[in-house]
Amino acid sequence: MTQSTPTQHEHSSTPNMCPHYEAAMELLAKRWTGLILTTLLDEPARFSSISNSVDGISDRMLSQRLVELEEIGMVERKVDSTQRPVLVEYASTQMARELAPVFNALQHWAEKWMPARVND
C-alpha cells in the first residue's frame, strides 16, 4: 500500500494566506458570532438580553457560542452568587473589544452595499 501525496485541495490552509488570518476569519464567520460580540462590546449583558438582541438565535446556539467565545478568551462569564437568583453576565474581553474598529468598518460597508433584511 502506497501513500499518496496530498493535492492542493487537501491542505488545511490556503497557499500564501496567513494562518492567523485564516483562524480569525473561521471564528468570525461562524453564524451569530459577530452579532454576539457586537452586543457585548459596550457593556456586559445577561443571557436573556443577548438573546433578545440577536434576533433568531436559539438558546441552545447562544449557549454554545458563548462557551466557545469564553474558551478562546473573547468573552468572560461573570457570576454573582450573592444575589438571588444568581446573576450571570457575559462581558467582552480586551481581545474582543479590539475588534470594535473592524465591526464599525463592516457596519459602514454593510450600510453602503447590503440590502436591509426584512423580518417576517
Would residue 5 count as lying in a domain? no
User: Is 101 inside a domain boundary?
Assistant: yes
Distance CA 55, CA 74 (A): 21
Buried b (16+ CB within 10 A) or exposed e, 37-51: bbbbeeebbeeeebb
Print pLDDT tens along the chain (120 aa): 444 444 444 445 567 889 999 999 999 999 999 999 999 999 999 999 999 999 999 999 999 999 999 999 999 999 999 999 999 999 999 999 999 999 999 999 999 999 987 665
Query: Would residue 24 count as lying in a domain?
Result: no
Domain count within the chain: 1
> Looking at the domain assignment, is residue 17 inside a domain?
no
DSSP E strands: which ranges in 16-96? 45-46, 75-80, 87-92
What CATH number corresponds to the domain at position 60? 1.10.10.10
Q: Compute how many other C-beta atoms are within 10 angstroms of the C-beta atom of residue 116.
A: 7
Which phi-psi region, left, alpha or beta, contains residue 27 (left: φ > 0; alpha: ψ -120 to 50)? alpha
Q: Name the nearest CA neighbour of 61 among 76, 75, 45, 50.
A: 50
pTM for the model stands at 0.82
> Has residue 54 been placed in a domain?
yes
Q: Is residue 7 part of a domain?
A: no
Domain range for 96 is: 42-111
- Residue 119 belongs to some domain of the structure: no
Q: Report yes or no on 33 lying in a domain.
A: no
pLDDT at 16: 86
